Structure 1
């Protein structure tokens, strides 16, 4: 008689809701799902990441937290999530596969996490400036985060490239730090808030240059001259780029439908064409991308995931 003992194969633990990204959309979704008594896991590639809001030195448009530092607001939301017992996993997602009953999420390490539903909140990354010298001088005078690097340019002359809220906010922040700030936009009209633009127009050390494009950035080891297509050459020590974002959809481009700009197609409910797969935040097709709309997206997507699990 064969007395050999065979161990029963251990079944892989199934998560109810797996959330990719720990910005305001992801953490809000987690809070709502957890309050529905679901098993929730947040996967985030950045160490204790809280999304793009961590780069904002001051936030004036999030109700109840006027003038708060973006990093501090992110920490408060994360503390809320952790207080509910929500689990965080530091890892990068490289692929997502839809199975018959669930999803298999592959991590960079090769580990696979399984979940009944997925809420994708990976956000967007900074669009890079593509002109001669932009790669050479990145981190040597070219920055994509004014709140991160602005202090290094105290008393110096810098340029901000862009026409949206990020560019205007960066210019306003830098005007309090730098000797001179050039705000350069390729069009005559700015997309950012009129109130912020009005403040910049009143600043003596801010010069707004419209209808101009960066042609080249030169220097000797570090940024020294910024050339415009108008023929103007600016003597500066730093360039802050705020020309838009690129949605982080590489891991899901074969799974869901994307629009012409690469954002995931979905309404406010976060529902995509893939049953059980939801999207929220800056990575979704939408008009307004702000912290408050990301949080609202997260709540809606969580509710959709909850209803999906109940009905299934």
Structure 2
């Protein structure tokens, strides 16, 4: 029989690594699968790391290396593998990789992040790696003393443009908005405006990448006039947002129209025991600090899910005798009276057992059986509900027993 992990994490960026740390530290047997040979996700391709609390003199790659070391220190197992499918069949989930390996886990945390969005213009695919790039950290040193174009105006685009000025002789930022309007934070805008190597082309977008073997021209289009201009350059860097890596989940969990994972307040998807953390889920802010927070949340939630489900499986579903499940709350006197009465009825002698469910702590079980008021009493035989009574009277309890 193959090993069954408590938690299986798909993706080794800040969200996945933080989830690994929190899960392992909670003594959960944890496996993390990462497609690339190096963990860290997109963050590892950045350079500066100025806004992670407490990390004043740490680069982005260094921070991710610290994340990895911290997770492994508490026992997170990290393997290189590309996940192809998740089958959430009941409590035990099956995760299949492209090399044909199958892993079993009680809970799954999807932290696959997002990848650079493509413009889809002529020449973009043809010149990828031949002048068209989506990563300044990866490719900047190919453009020493050359002129490059940056398409985009958000934080990533402007940060990457600033980084490129350390290598290129000139960086031209193509902005789709009116002059003086950018999506980047003010601090990045101020730095860009103050940098002598950076120039701007406003109200424009990239229409085509051209060249002879390597990029030598960016065709720019003014979105107001429609005029197209051949702009001479040696490279084109595109930073226009990201697309979530959720293709392998279509038909398995609920996605937004944009392909992001939908989650509740515990970051659980619509599939019980499957969670989402980081840039892959629908959220307001996508930063390293929020990804790490997501990882902590999902690991903690997964631990609670496992504990609740294992208790239910062992004491109710797999029980040989009839089971009376008393849904109660410590703030409800009637429910406490019901449980006290049941505890004094010597159920074992009558071939039954009592299981108490605190509706505040065990919301999952309460919701599963549509328990909306306490006290409520269920009777189960072979894991199936045979009777359900809300606000049971003393005679109803005795009759049910």
User: Given the two structures, how large is their TM-score scaled by the length of structure 2?
Assistant: 0.73
Structure-2 residue corresponding to 1:284: 281
* TM-aligned CA deviation for residue 109 of structure 1: 1.4
Bigger radius of gyration, 1 or 2?
2
Structure 1 residues 191, 269: CA separation in 2 closer, same or farther (over 3 Å shift)? farther
What do the CA deviations read for 1:246-271 (whole angstroms, capped 9, x no partner)?
Answer: 10001112111111110001145211
CA distance in 1 between counterparts of 2:95 and 2:70 reads 26
Structure 1 residues 186, 268: CA separation in 2 closer, same or farther (over 3 Å shift)? farther
1:51 aligned residue (37, 41, 45) = 41
Query: Would you say the 8 A contact 2:91–2:273 is kept in 1?
Result: no
* TM-aligned CA deviation for residue 277 of structure 1: 0.5
Structure-2 residue corresponding to 1:240: 237
Residue 14 (structure 2) pairs with residue 24 (structure 1): yes
2:198 aligned residue (176, 201, 206) = 206
CA distance in 2 between counterparts of 1:17 and 1:74 reads 21
1:60 aligned residue (29, 39, 50) = 50
* TM-aligned CA deviation for residue 81 of structure 1: 1.2
SS of the equivalent of 1:309 reads helix
Structure-2 residue corresponding to 1:187: 177
CA distance in 2 between counterparts of 1:207 and 1:48 reads 35
Query: Would you say the 8 A contact 1:267–1:285 is kept in 2?
Result: no
SS of the equivalent of 1:251 reads helix
What do the CA deviations read for 1:129-154 (whole angstroms, capped 9, x no partner)?
Answer: 31111111111111110011111111
Query: Would you say the 8 A contact 2:93–2:107 is kept in 1?
Result: yes
* TM-aligned CA deviation for residue 53 of structure 1: 0.5
1:119 aligned residue (106, 109, 128) = 109
SS of the equivalent of 2:176 reads coil
SS of the equivalent of 1:96 reads strand
Higher alpha-carbon deviation: 78-87 or 272-281: 78-87
Structure 1 residues 67, 88: CA separation in 2 closer, same or farther (over 3 Å shift)? same
CA distance in 2 between counterparts of 1:258 and 1:66 reads 36
Structure-2 residue corresponding to 1:173: 163
User: Given the two structures, how large is their TM-score scaled by the length of structure 1?
Assistant: 0.94
Query: Would you say the 8 A contact 1:142–1:241 is kept in 2?
Result: yes
Structure-2 residue corresponding to 1:148: 138
Higher alpha-carbon deviation: 272-281 or 226-235: 226-235
Q: Name stretches of at least 5 consecutive residues in structure 1 with no aligned partner.
A: 1-10
Structure-1 residue corresponding to 2:209: 217
CA distance in 1 between counterparts of 2:146 and 2:88 reads 52
Structure-2 residue corresponding to 1:301: 298
Query: Would you say the 8 A contact 2:278–2:295 is kept in 1?
Result: yes
Structure-2 residue corresponding to 1:163: 153
Quote the RMSD (CA, aligned, Å).
1.2
2:79 aligned residue (89, 109, 115) = 89
CA distance in 2 between counterparts of 1:206 and 1:79 reads 38
CA distance in 1 between counterparts of 2:261 and 2:199 reads 37
CA distance in 1 between counterparts of 2:248 and 2:125 reads 25
Query: Would you say the 8 A contact 1:157–1:236 is kept in 2?
Result: yes
Structure-2 residue corresponding to 1:269: 266
CA distance in 2 between counterparts of 1:35 and 1:179 reads 48
Query: Would you say the 8 A contact 1:45–1:91 is kept in 2?
Result: yes
Query: Would you say the 8 A contact 2:82–2:97 is kept in 1?
Result: yes
- Structure with more contact order per residue of length (Cα contacts < 8 Å, sep ≥ 6): 1
- Which structure 1 residue ranges, 4+ long, deviate > 4 Å from structure 2? none
Query: Would you say the 8 A contact 1:20–1:119 is kept in 2?
Result: yes
How many residues are paired up?
302
Q: Name stretches of at least 5 consecutive residues in structure 2 with no aligned partner.
A: 223-227, 310-401
SS of the equivalent of 1:213 reads strand
